[in-house]
Homo-oligomer: A and B are copies of this chain.
Amino acid sequence: MSLVGADRVPRGDRAARLAWARLVEPGDPESARLVAAVGAEAALHGIDPASSLGQQVAPRLADLDVERDVRIAASLGARLVVPDDDEWPPGLDVLTNPPFCLWVRGPLHLAEACERSVGVVGARAASGYGLHQAKELAAGLAERGYTIVSGAAYGIDGAAHEGALAVDGRTIAVVAGGVDRPYPAGHAGLLARVAESGAVLSEVPPGSSPTRWRFLSRNRMIATMSRGTVVVEAGLRSGSRNTARTAADHLRVVCAVPGPVSSAVSAGCHLLIREGAQLVTDAAEVVEAVGPIGELAPVKRGGVLPEDDLEPIHRAVLSALRVQSATSVGALAKQCGASLRDVMGALGVLGVNDLVVQDGDGYRRVRRRPSDRPASQRSAT
């Protein structure tokens, strides 16, 4: 005997998946195994009332009404996306207990948007520093064509969405409750703006409240939908570290932004880096980490000085010279511990590069600004 009769749910995979999303919590292992084995529809109609799964879904069975759910979604302007759909984000398929379906509001084609995407997540109780970095990072990534995936929470999540929106970039909010339930309430406006140009999505049906368990389940979607996750600020106990762990478990790149060691909301980031996450300081470094091979961030280096490309003896002679007064070749040789011949050779090279001038019996240094770079362009000695 079947618990869910064919009369309770319309035919087809789509309706069956919607029913599963109503009957069990996100990430429920037993139902996921069954659906993976025989498909959503056969699994649903095959539930044995006497089995543990049967007893598990029984309390919710009375409220099951797939057709009502379809009507509600339509009235909210939310579409139902299932694995067979074009826009199903392939990253979700790596999960052991993937979502049965997604409710989505917003114009973005999910699969396309996730092709170049980064999760940007972090603490709710973020610092001003963290908020600024999240916004900058998200804006920089969005400008480079990356979709910013985050959870619309206060703090880092919100700043990440804002950063993407500020540069007219693409962003996806993965929420823990129903897509009709703006949470936190203070982010209702932000979520509306995300839904306008990007996407707000959830694996739980409209009307569902966000629970602690659903927040954790939501995190696994952010972690695997995108190519990598950046944690901007996180305490030692944090959902963001949980997201990062899921990302790493599924071979996604995990990046973390460092901060002052005295900041409690950077402690989680520092721990992640110590455990193997990539330290990143800007969008270019994130792209290098998550992007296709070959997208390298410019290696950071300081200003260039004229003597940078000189050989040691030339550099030693140069730094022994003064700008104001001349020094003799003999004094230079003593000071540098070099032969007269080597000192004269060095003075020749330095002269050709306009770094020194002769002055009476000795030589003086010519003061130059770093940007002039004559030595690096001309010295090939």
Q: Measured between alpha carbons, how far is A287 from B334 in the docked complex, in Å?
A: 43
* Binary per-residue interface labels of chain A (327-365) against chain B in the complex, 1 for a CB within 8 Å, 0 otherwise: 000100111111111100000000000000000000000
Residue from the list B58, B212, B337 in contact with A60, Cβ < 8 A: B337
Chain B residues, Cβ within 8 Å of A282: 261
Q: Considering the complex, give the chain B residue whose CB is closest to the CB of A61.
A: B334
Q: Are A301 and B211 in touch, CB under 8 angstroms?
A: no
Contact B59 A211 (CB under 8 A): no
Cβ–Cβ contact B258 & A279, under 8 A? yes
> CB distance A25 to B270 under 8 Å?
no
Other A-B contacts than A271-B299, A271-B300, 4 sampled, CB-CB below 8 A, are: A236-B300, A258-B258, A259-B259, A270-B279
Does A303 interact with chain B (Cβ within 8 Å)?
Answer: yes
- Does A376 count as interface, using CB distance less than 8 angstroms? no
Tell me the complex Cα distance, A341–B56, Å: 9
- Whether the pair A302, B237 counts as a contact (CB closer than 8 A) is yes
Q: Is the CB of A59 within 8 A of B330?
A: yes
- The verdict on A189 contacting chain B, using a C-beta distance below 8 Å, is no
A281 touches B267 (CB 8 A): yes
| Interface residues contributed by chain A, number (CB under 8 Å) | 60
Partner of A259, one of B56, B258, B339, B341: B258
Tell me the A19-63 residues at the B interface (CB within 8 Å). Answer: 23-25, 28, 52, 55-60, 63
The verdict on A278 contacting chain B, using a C-beta distance below 8 Å, is yes
Q: How far is the CA of A341 from the CA of B213 in the complex (A)?
A: 20
Q: Are A237 and B301 in contact (CB under 8 A)?
A: yes
Asked if A224 is an interface residue, CB under 8 A from chain B, the answer is: no
Question: How many Å lie between the Cα of A139 and that of B57 in the bound state?
Answer: 60
Known: A56-B342, A237-B301, A281-B267. A320 touches B211 (CB 8 A): yes
A82 CA / B267 CA spacing, docked (Å)? 45
Whole-angstrom CA separation of A363 from B282 in the bound complex: 50
Find out whether the CB atom of A60 lies under 8 angstroms from the CB atom of B339.
no
Determine which of B23, B274, B320 lies in contact with A279 in the assembled complex, contact meaning CB atoms within 8 Å. B274
A17 to chain B, nearest CB (A): 15
> Given A59-B333, A212-B319, does the pair A261, B281 have CB atoms closer than 8 Å?
yes
> When chains A and B are docked, how far (Å) is the Cα of A257 from the Cα of B262?
11
A260 is an interface residue with CB less than 8 A from chain B: yes
